[in-house]
Amino acid sequence: MAATYSISDLARELDITTRAIRFYEEQGMLSPERRGQERIYSAKDKVTLKLILRGKRIGFSLAECKELIELYDPSHGNRKQLETFMDKIAERRDQLQQQLLDIQQMQLELDTAEERCLIALAETDKKQSVNS
């Protein structure tokens, strides 16, 4: 018999909320069986959730995660999925590199602003001491 999980089992095991799991289900990314009101998740649903969480950790949008998951086709191999994943990794690296450059530029601008403020404060203190 294949492994199955309740929503609370998955939430506990993957350290996420049941609300998050229901959200991914609403987005069409999970499709648990139903037994009355109870959701029964398969091993495939668990793997899908792990992939979603991994994708979110590395900065992929939910749409990108969904695209990658939908590309998986075990009957034809997963070359297309892996190639797309590699493309998205390269894109994400480029975005992060640009963000790093932007942060470094902002730090330089903050350093300059701080230096100007310190000089202005020193001049203000000097003027006040001369006028006192």
**Each residue of 71-102: pLDDT tens digit?**
877 777 788 888 999 999 999 999 999 999 99
pLDDT (average), residues 39-43 = 93
How much is the pLDDT for 100? Answer: 97
How much is the pLDDT for 79? Answer: 86
How much is the pLDDT for 2? Answer: 78
Q: Is the pLDDT of residue 127 over 80?
A: yes
Q: Is the pLDDT of residue 28 over 70?
A: yes
Q: Is the pLDDT of residue 54 over 70?
A: yes
How much is the pLDDT for 72? Answer: 79
| 1 confidence band (pLDDT: 50, 70, 90) | low
Long-range contacts of 62-71 (CB under 8 A, 24+ apart): 62/27, 62/29, 64/88, 65/29, 66/27, 66/28, 66/29, 69/29
Q: Is the pLDDT of residue 62 over 80?
A: yes
pLDDT (average), residues 36-50 = 92
pTM of the complete model: 0.73
Nearest residue to 55 via CA among 43, 46, 45, 68: 68
